[in-house]
Amino acid sequence: MDFALSQDHNVLRDTVRDFVQKEVKPLAISIDQEHKIPDELIAKMSEMGLLGCFLPEEYGGAGLDILSYVLVVEEVSKACASSGVLISAHSSLGCAPIYQFGTEEQKKKYLPDMATGRKIGCILLTEPDVGSDVAGMTTMYRREGDEFVITGGKTFITNGACLGTGVVFATHDKSLKHKGISVFIIDLESPGVTVLKNEDKLGIRGSYTTAFALDDVRVPVANRVGEEGKGWTYGKYLLEFERGSGIASAKLREALKTVSDLAESEATGRAIDDPDVTLRMSEIEVDIDTLEMTELRVLSALQTGQNPGAVSSLLKLRVSEIRQAVTRLGVEVIGNDGLYVEPMRPFYRLNEAPGIPEAMLPVVPEYLNGRAYTIFGGSSEIQRDIVAKMVLGL
C-alpha cells in the first residue's frame, strides 16, 4: 500500500520500519524456532506504542488513525509474521470490541493495560466443534445475582497463552442461535479458566494458539460488552475489521521482489531464464495491482469510520490466494532446498547451507505462514460465501 500517504504517515512508517529492522527482524528466525515472542520484544513494541495504535491517549493509546495502525501491522508482518499476528489479534480482536462497544467504565478499566502491553488481548470465539457456523455455539452463560457464569471450551485462540484480557462469546440459549450470543470480558487468569494446550502449528509458529476449558468462570455483570443477544452483530463487525486491516499489497509486493531476486540468483541456477517463472511473476504482479483497488476501498471505509462489509472478505480472500501463489513460486524457484521438510523446518537447513542468499531464508516459512491465513478470521470458503451473498444482494 503506497497511495496518498500523508507526511505524518510516511514518518510513522519509516520510524516503525527502522525499529522493526533493528528489533524484530533479527529475532524472526528464533521466534519461529522457539514458538515464542520474547517478553522483552513485546515490551519494546509496547514502548513504541505499537500495541495501542488506534486507542485514544486518554486510554493509554497512541491516538493514531486506522491507516497508521495498518501501516504498523504491515511493517511488523514483513519482518516477522508471528509478531504481526500478535499485534493485529490483540488490537483488532482484543482491544477493538471494548473500545467500540464497551462502556466508559470498561474502557477505563481494561484499555490502559492493553494499550501498554501489560495485558495482551484476544478473542475467544471458536470451539472444538464450532468454527464457521457460529450459530451452533455451545459455550453457555447464565446469570447468578450480580455475576455471569460461563462454562464451555474455546480453541485456536491467538495470544491465548499470554493469559491477558479475553473477549469471550457465549450463548444463554442454543435454540436462539445467533440471537442468543453475548460477549464478556474475562481475565484469563481467573479461577475456572484452564489452558488445555498450545498448538504446534504449520506456519506462524511463534504466535500462540491456545485451547481453553472454561469451567464456571464468574464475571461481574458489568463485564458484558454491549447489549445482551447482540454478540454476533459485534463479532461480524470485528471480523470485518480484522480482515480489512491485516496484511495486504505491500507485503505481497515485497515477497514478489524476494522471489524475483532469488530467480535471478546463481544459487537458484537462474530460474529467471525459465519462461514459466517470468509468466507467473507477471500474473502475480497483475493480481497485486488489482488488489490495491480493493485495499483502497476497504481502507477508505475504515479510515472514515464506516464498516467495510463484504468487501473486506473479498480483500482477505484475494490476499490469501496471492500470498500462496507468490510463496509457492518462491519455494519452487529455490528448488530442492525449498522442499526440505525435516522436521518441518526447511529454513534451518537453508540457514546452515553456505552460499545461500539471505533473501532465501524467509521464503519457506512464509509459504507455511500463508496457509494459516486462509483459515483464521474465517476460511476462504466462508469468504467466498460472503462475497457470493454480496453479489446476490442477500
Ligand X SMILES: Cc1cc2nc3c(=O)[nH]c(=O)nc-3n(C[C@H](O)[C@H](O)[C@H](O)COP(=O)(O)OP(=O)(O)OC[C@H]3O[C@@H](n4cnc5c(N)ncnc54)[C@H](O)[C@@H]3O)c2cc1C
Catalytic residue set: 366
Q: Of 59-67, 141-149, 334-342, 376-384, which segment contacts ligand X by CB under 6 A?
A: 376-384
Q: Is 157 in the site for ligand X (CB under 6 A)?
A: yes
CB of 132 to ligand X, least distance (A): 3
CB of 136 to ligand X, least distance (A): 9
Q: Is 214 in the site for ligand X (CB under 6 A)?
A: no
Identify whether the C-beta of residue 169 lies closer than 8 Å to the C-beta of residue 181: yes
CB of 146 to ligand X, least distance (A): 27
What's the sign of the alpha-carbon dihedral 12, 18, 19, 24?
Answer: positive
State which of residues 197, 381, 388, 389 lies at the interface with ligand X (CB under 6 A): 381
Separation of alpha carbons 293 and 364, rounded Å:
28
Separation of alpha carbons 386 and 242, rounded Å:
15
Q: Is 136 in the site for ligand X (CB under 6 A)?
A: no
Q: Cell 514483513 identifies what position?
A: 78
Q: Which long-range contacts (CB under 8 A, 24 or more apart) does 254-257 make?
A: 254/78, 255/323, 255/326, 255/327, 255/330, 255/366, 256/281, 256/284, 256/285, 256/288, 256/326
The residue number with the shortest CB distance to ligand X is: 131
The 3-state DSSP class for residue 50 equals coil
What's the sign of the alpha-carbon dihedral 352, 356, 357, 359?
Answer: negative
Beta bridge partners of 198: 210
Q: Of 103-111, 152-160, 263-271, 309-317, which segment contacts ligand X by CB under 6 A?
A: 152-160
Which grid cell sits at 232?
Answer: 454476533
Q: Is 388 in the site for ligand X (CB under 6 A)?
A: no
What's the sign of the alpha-carbon dihedral 343, 346, 347, 348?
Answer: positive
Q: Is 43 in the site for ligand X (CB under 6 A)?
A: no
Q: Is 376 in the site for ligand X (CB under 6 A)?
A: yes
Q: Is 86 in the site for ligand X (CB under 6 A)?
A: no
Smaller CB separation from ligand X, 139 or 265:
139
CB of 381 to ligand X, least distance (A): 3
CB of 158 to ligand X, least distance (A): 3
298-327: contacts with ligand X (CB under 6 A): none
Q: Of 33-41, 303-311, 329-337, 373-381, which segment contacts ligand X by CB under 6 A?
A: 373-381
